[in-house]
Amino acid sequence: MNTIDYDKLTEYLDSIVGFGVPSVDLIVYEDHKQLYRHMAGTVDTGKKQKVAADQRYLMFSITKVQTMTAVMQLVEQGKLSLEDEVGKYLPAYKEVSVLGESKKYPILMKHLVSMQSGLDYDLGRPGILRVLKEKGDAATTRELVDSFVESPLKFIPGTHYEYSLSHDVAAAVIEVVSGMKFSEYLKKNIWEPLKMTDTFFAKPMNDGLERLAAQYTCIDNEKYVPMEYSCNYQLSESYESGGAGLVSCTMDYAKLADTLACGGISMDGVRILKPETVEKIKENLLSDASMDDLHNKMGRWGCGYGVGMVVLLDPESIGSPAPKGVFGWDGAAGSCITMDTGSKRSFVYTQHVRNMGRVYGEVHPKLRDMIFG
């Protein structure tokens, strides 16, 4: 594994702020030791307040890394199998209609975790609107998740990749299997063991805002404009989105990244997963057609997709010096978590800008290559 050029890394992070991103924060760990941290920029709309070490962010889709860790804990314990039908736990999912198909099909857990379920990310689907009209903010995770399949699936489960609400469904399964609210499960089995004291669901949105970085949106890939705090994936006050619902900070997520990179054992010696379970997360679960979807629709060339995370399978094909097997995921405001079990090295990068396409195609790959290459 390479020695990181910290001066170049700092220079690159500062350049991101230079082209308009209000703030950035990056932590790198290797085998439970913090190798590097750099924060730059400001987190208020007046551009006076510097980014703090315990700054909070809406984490959006890197919430999924925690949801998948929870799923694999239950798999490891024999309480769940990726081959199980989702309908075993959620009766509404026993057999589901598929667009253009005369027969109904089951969704398997492996289809949920790998985004091959046939669901999509339409938050305005009729079932969701019906439940919210009937229950309002009292609508629970289970009630809303059950409503997703009132509309037909887009394709037969397992045949394509479509980024979707699948991991929200996985959160409901976790509730059924564990007998706990999703947040309670995460608190007991991930947050408390890893001492993640600044992680919680983004509800109510007026709680915890005192350390939440100002949220921006990117216009025309060059203008950064403040926007109102919004976590539209938290569908109600009682809903807990396994796909995008968490508020957290860079330090907390770095603890999780380090733990997964080190085969499931934390810097305090607490094991949340076995090494072989972490390796299972990295196994590509996509069919050939789904791989084409991942590459062509998501732009994740040279990669496959395992248990809720993208995995670098062919670095040479994209000119990356990073090793095969680097894995992780990113979020809608531009944050990412990336790990390598071979070197036990990991990094977490945070920012708070929506609609910024270049962060996924340029910033995250550059950081990966500089840190792992």
Q: Helical H runs in the chain?
A: 6-18, 63-76, 109-113, 126-135, 141-147, 166-178, 182-186, 250-261, 275-281, 288-298, 358, 364-372
Q: What confidence score (pLDDT) does residue 205 get?
A: 62
Please state the rounded mean pLDDT for residues 324-332.
98
How large is the average pLDDT for residues 271-289? 98
Using the structure block, give the residue that is written with the tokens 């001492």. Answer: 195
Span 208-223, pLDDT tens digits: 667 899 999 999 888 9
Residues of the chain with CATH 3.40.710.10: 6-59+197-372
Confidence of residue 203 (pLDDT cuts 50, 70, 90): confident
- Looking at residue 207, its pLDDT comes to 63
Chosen CATH of 6-59+197-372 out of 3.40.710.10, 3.40.190.10, 3.30.460.80, 3.40.605.10 = 3.40.710.10
Task: Evaluate if residue 31 carries a pLDDT over 90.
Answer: yes
pLDDT average, residue stretch 76-101: 98
Where residue 27 falls (left for φ over 0; alpha for ψ -120 to 50; beta otherwise) is: beta
Task: State if pTM tops 0.95.
Answer: yes
DSSP-based three-state secondary structure for 353: strand
Q: Is the pLDDT of residue 36 over 90?
A: yes
- The DSSP result for 153-193, as a single string, is BSS-TTS-----THHHHHHHHHHHHHTS-HHHHHIIIIITT
Indicate if the pLDDT at residue 228 is higher than 90.
no
As a whole number, the mean pLDDT across the chain is 96
Q: Residue 342 contacts by C-beta under 8 Å, 6 or more apart in sequence?
A: 1, 323, 325
Region class of 260: left (phi > 0), else alpha (psi between -120 and 50), else beta: alpha
